[in-house]
Amino acid sequence: MVGIVIVSHSWKIAEGVCDLAREMAQEHEKIIPAGGLDDGSIGTDAQRIADAIVEAEAGEGVVIIADIGSSIMSAEAAIELLEDEGREVNAVIADAPIVEGAVCAAVEAVGGGNMDSVLTAAEEAKETSKL
C-alpha cells in the first residue's frame, strides 16, 4: 500500500490530519505525521520528515502532503537526506490541500491505488468545491 506522510509546522495539526485520514481509511496503517520540532515548538525538521518517510514506506512508495511554505522545502531536503544516505527513495510531494488531500489519498491508497493514482487523488482534492 502507498504510504502517506503528513508534514505540518505543528505536531498537533499533523497528528490531527492523520487521525482524520485514518478514520476515513481505517485499513491504512502507514499514514505518518511529521510535524513540529523536537521541543514541541512550531517548525519543520527534515530529519523528522525523513524518518516518517522511512516509516511510511511499505514497498509501493510514499506521498507527502504538506501545509505551507518551508514544509515543502523541508520535505525536499528530507528526500535528499535519504538519497545522500544511499537509500532508494520513492517519495513524491503532492500539490494538495493538507486535510482534503490526506483523506482522498488515504481512501485511494486503501482501495488499492498505486503511487500515481494516490498522488492524483490528493491533488484533485484542491478542485473540489465545499459549497
Catalytic positions are 9
Residues 6+ apart with CB under 8 A from 131: none
By three-state DSSP, how is residue 83 classified? helix
Give the SS3 label for residue 5. Answer: strand
Place of cell 482501495: 111
CA-to-CA distance for 50 and 27, rounded, in angstroms?
A: 23
Nearest to 118 by CA among 129, 102, 130: 102
